[in-house]
Amino acid sequence: MEPLVSVIVPVYNVCSYLREALDSLVSQTYNHLEILLIDDGSTDGSGAVCDEYAARFPDRIRLIRQNNQGLSGARNTGLDHMRGELVAFLDPDDAFHPDMIRRMVRALNRSRADIVVCGYGTYQTQKEMRASKRIRVYTVPSARLLSRAEALSCMIDGTISHAVWNRLYRRKCWEHLRFPQGKVYEDMATSCRVLSEADRILLIPEVLVKYRKRPGSITHTNSLRNTRDYFAAVHQYEGFVRDHVPAFYRQDQLEALQKNLLRGMIVFWTKLPAACQKEAAQLRREILSAGSRVPLSPRYFRTWAGFQMIRFCPWLIPVIMPVYRPLRELFRKVTGR
């Protein structure tokens, strides 16, 4: 008999996108599926959409309501209530390919892997998503079966992202894990730990997830809370890697990760609202502390230059950034880097 797959969908104020996500689930070619809708205290009509789909598909959809606990809390509720042998996550403004679950289950069974990771395409508008006009695709050129240590290394070099929504997991991977409650960027703090629970991880090249880059989403909002949560996730991820040298990682991989995470901290700090001056000073100290542990040189020019400005002349950042950012975006469009 086919294994039961639980798909966990956290829902909070996404009425404009939710039907598209749910349609991609109820139209899956894989039949042995339970869809867990976690209505996390929505106030915009999303709850009514959940009611509608739960009534239309009572044999496939289970609706759970709770007071707002954030994305992490909603996913944790789903993990606590799931019945499936396998589990996947879908954010309510994204969508699955209609054959995603069937292909992922088949790949998992054939490889005897504990986790299967597929490719995904990024979109910005509903029109782009419906027409499948991807802005960018993230995938691997061919299937690869990895050990735990190999998969964790692939997360360092970016072959495997921090996302949890482009993969299918055996239940055992989540038995002793949950997302950090009430935090944004919970995937960064969690994905490495989930991979460490798996013996074999399969990467497949099929692009099976439509990921919407939505300006108004939580992770695309510049705020003090997001910056604090990002810094917290950085510290947790770096700590995990440091604790597992040399078991899973080499020292040079730790140093490469520290440079990348420091770059991210610098970017977040430069985007803080001007009203957060007092809090920015504390976060600046965290950047200086992180930078003191990283062997930086002008070879890594953007990170090195950003760190030096934050270290010696932070007042210069608001002057430079309005000019730098559009030039950097133009450079990215022209060169692809």
pLDDT in the model for residue 279: 86
DSSP 242: H
Q: Within a 10 A sphere around the Cβ of 296, how many other Cβ atoms?
A: 17
pLDDT digit string, tens, across residues 197-223: 999 999 999 999 999 987 655 555 678
CA atoms of 139 and 60, how far apart (whole Å): 30
pLDDT digit string, tens, across residues 102-114: 999 999 999 999 9
CA atoms of 193 and 248, how far apart (whole Å): 12
pLDDT in the model for residue 180: 93
pLDDT in the model for residue 213: 85
pLDDT in the model for residue 82: 98
Question: What does pTM read for this prediction?
Answer: 0.90
pLDDT in the model for residue 48: 97
pLDDT in the model for residue 11: 98
Question: Exposure string (b/e) for 11-20, b if CB count within 10 Å is 16 or more?
Answer: bbbbbebbeb
Encoded amino acid at 6, one letter: S
pLDDT in the model for residue 215: 61
**Which positions of the chain have pLDDT values less than 50?**
none
